[in-house]
Amino acid sequence: MKDTTVKSPDAGFAPHSVSVEEVIATLATDLTEGLSSAEVERRLQEYGPNTLPEAKGRTILEAFRDQFANFLIILLLAATVLSAAIGEYLDAAAIAAIVILSAVLGVAQEWRAERALQALRSMMAPTARVLRNRRVEEVASPLLVPGDIVLLEPGQYVPADLRLADTKELKMNEASLTGESTQVDKDARSIVDLDTPIADRTNSAFAGTIVTYGRATGVVVATGAGTEVGRIAALVGKQEQEQTPLQRRMSGLGRWLGSAAIAVSVVVFAVGAVRGNDIVDMLLTAVSLAVAAVPEGLPAVVAVALAVGMQRMAQRHALIRRMSAVETLGSATVIATDKTGTLTKGEMTVVRVYLGPGEPVLDVTGAGYEPSGDFRRDSETIDPRRHHHLRLLLLASVLCNDAYLQQKDERWHVVGDTTEGALLVVAAKGGLTREALEAEHPRVAEVPFTSDRRLMTTLNERDFGYVAYSKGAPGALLPLCSQRQDGDATRPLEEEDKRQILAASDELAAAGLRVLALAYRPLEQRVAEEKLEEQLIFLGLAGMQDPPRPEVRDAVELSYRAGIIPIMVTGDHRATALAIGRDLRIARDGDSVLTGPDIDRLTDAELRRVVDQTRIYARISPEQKMRIVDALREKGHIVAVTGDGVNDAPALRGADIGVAMGITGTDVAKEAADMVITDDNYASIVAAVEEGRKIFDNIRNFVIYLLAANLGEILIIFAAVVAGTPVPLLPIQILWVNLVTDSFPALALGMEPADPDIMSRPPRPPQESVVTRPIALVLVIRGVAEAIAVLVAFLVWLYAFDRPEEEARTMAFATLVVAELLKAHGSRSLYRTIIDLGPFKNMYVVGATILSFGLLLLVMYVPPLPDAFEVSLPEPWEWLVIFGLGSTPLIVIEAMKLMPWVPTSEPKERRTRPRPAP
């Protein structure tokens, strides 16, 4: 062919809205000859290879460096330097090890965006059949250019975005791109509007989708980054990972701790210097106090708690890919979920059967491809073996069918069209299988389905002659029928009968069902194929849908009870989405549906105004889904987004937490997500939310436990310096308590079971800190109670009993340790007493108490540790005093839980309650 100058297929080029001839002219190509090798080479230089661009990622060193931008980590580094400065090299090494461990755990999560892009690249077909130089060639997919003529066959992945030029009964599976559960009929002759959503562009085929039926020729109109998959890749790459709610809370807590530690240390040093204390001693005291103010084990304890949460979630079918996502789920206020495969089974199922005028609609039980279920009329079960009319309809469902039903790995699968698969399954529920019937009624001829006729007919042989079976759209099949089945007999099909049948079809369609009509015609002898679809006998209608998962209704109700708003964002049709939404109680009667074109007409401000009141979104594109997520987040929501297709990847990446489906999900979705649900079940997401809330409760409990302990230590030193008494605790004793005695109970608190009412509370406000003002009051009271108990022990032994400073410090040190250990039992819940919780319900706390107390005994009794820690051997009766004083904080904690005026719990803190399910 003669090469001509090609117009650049820029952003203004919309091949779906113009004729094939205009597309060919714009791209300067030829349907009969294709491009020449020279022109392909020139265009390859102009447009680049048909691959997705690789974004430059951060190096490991850069990712590791960024981990130290956390304020609490900076404080711990300062604590390391200060510990080394006062000669506590072992403590300095321990703190440094904690810092490095936290950084390594963070770096391990830094490559998700790159992996997501890599998964997108893998979707591009490795080879393609193209017409070049007047002959068909098989070329590598990256070598395709705009203007290439591509040939498509069943089973092939589309290698680039195409404007279809010729189609022969072409059907595409576009679920991974659009989220639509049913196969899409394509017609090259159609021309659609400029703003038509991707799912409705019947004259186009998109990279990464699959040909399931028929053949086609198409013109490449976009490659690489210019394809729909490429645009999604760009959206994924642009999404920057923001801090999770837990990271924001811990960062704020770190800044608060740092400011407090510096301020208290300066004040103590200044007061001591003014009182004439030794400057060096006061400097060491101030340094030790600063170290005491920072909970050295906090990052490690948080990491362990999150890791344990990950394991528990895995047992509940939720695999966490990013550790901080564990807690983020507990903050979720909105779950934006896809429909197909998440709320539904992703398996077309016949749920209604209509046998004709005067007959009630039969309900079909059972969901998905599992061939088990019943046919019911009101409360009566119908046996197809004794119901001639129903058996004939099921017989037609099997014999006028090209799909196969197979069992593999204990799951049933459909090979072929999912709509035909649904007909096979409903027939199997009536005891009719393809394998058995094909032997008895072999197919001898057929009139295949076409998008123009919307019909399919087969001719099957039987003992006394032949039978033609037909299925198709009710509006197309009904005019071909002259009779209708009525029980065991046939009757003429009157105009009133047709009106009633079409009304029944409309009623099923309004309920979100896809409707097929079935008919048959017995023949004594074989007739020509063009005469098979004459004088048919109407059998009935089959209404099918992708059925909701049965457990999702309870999960949706639990979501509402927990104050979490479930919304559906799908690429499916409006009627289907609304029907499923109402069935699952996500939407109420009267609720409207917001579609993709509706969203395009709204400004961002207008979308923010309506997003809180909308529960169902249909025919949504990837960009529109991102706008919905962004609008929700701008309204202050913590958004969990679920999805399984390529079209979901940008929203999964941009949400607070992305949840991908493990069974039906594409690699793209899984790599972009924070969490993967291994059973593709919405109920598992809600269970993971419960686990996330429990984890935050536990994190909050041990944070308060650690901070109260550190506050108590600060108050002890501060009070002694201000009063001019000897310091009750030495730096090594404070560090030992922080690194050893506190750590084990804190870890054990992270294993506390969930409170029974955890899913009856509203979500935590996103801006709420770990330590709220009411909880800060509780923290202060606990710290003061601990400081009083230790100071009493120290001052009584030092002044009342006139004991040496070492013995008084021993009493103070032991009382502090015992107080910490007993206080851990009261810290298991902010508002439930030990009796309510069960003293031995959390054996980890019991074990941590025994272990830590054993370590205290080692320090007291095993040489040379007593000398190293400058402690003496307590008398047996002194241990009674130690335990008596050490139990004071626990008594105060438990007493506070019984006082209604003390705001210790979330339910008491909040006045808002979750709104009921609709």
Q: Which residues are catalytic?
A: 338
Q: Say how many CA atoms lie within 13 Å of 438 toward its Cβ.
A: 10
d(CA 282, CA 271): 9
Judge whether 147 and 43 are in contact, CB under 8 Å.
Answer: yes
**Alpha carbon distance 21, 687 (integer Å):** 54
Give 344's DSSP letter. Answer: B
By C-alpha distance, which of 709, 710, 733, 731 is closest to 865?
A: 733
Q: What span, in angstroms and rounded, lies between the C-alpha atoms of 262 and 284? A: 14
- HSE at residue 279, side-chain half, CA atoms within 13 A, is 0
Cβ-contact 103, 65 below 8 angstroms? no
- Say which residues have a Cβ less than 8 Å from residue 879's Cβ, sequence separation at least 6: 814
State the Cα–Cα distance between residues 102 and 96, nearest whole angstrom.
Answer: 10
What b-and-e string marks burial along 756-790, b requiring 16 or more CB atoms within 10 Å of the CB? eebbebbbbebeebbbbebbeebbebbbbbbbbbb
SS (H, E, C) 4-55: CCCCCCCCCCCHHHCCHHHHHHHHCCCCCCCECHHHHHHHHHHHCCCCCCCC
State whether residue 446 is helix, strand or coil.
Answer: strand
H-helix segments, 545-595: 552-561, 574-583
For residue 232, give Cα distances in angstroms to 226, 310, 663, 780, 893. 10, 29, 22, 51, 53
Residue 611's Cβ-side half-sphere holds a number of Cα atoms within 13 Å equal to 26
Say whether 748 sits in a helix, a strand or coil.
helix
User: Which two tokens mark 859?
Assistant: 């320090």
List strand residue ranges (DSSP E) for 506-634, in order.
Answer: 514-523, 536-545, 565-569, 594-595, 616-618
Q: How many whole angstroms from its chain centre is CA 774?
A: 33
Three-state DSSP state, 373: coil
Nearest to 871 by CA among 711, 730, 770: 730
- Quote the DSSP letter at residue 695: H
Residue with tokens 């922080």: 738
The CA-based diameter of the chain, rounded to the nearest angstrom, is 121
**Which of 600, 598, 637, 633 lies closest to 616, judged by CA?**
598
- C-beta of residue 820 within 8 angstroms of C-beta of residue 882: no
**Is residue 194 packed enough to be buried (19+ CB in 10 Å), middle (13-18) or exposed (0-12)?**
exposed
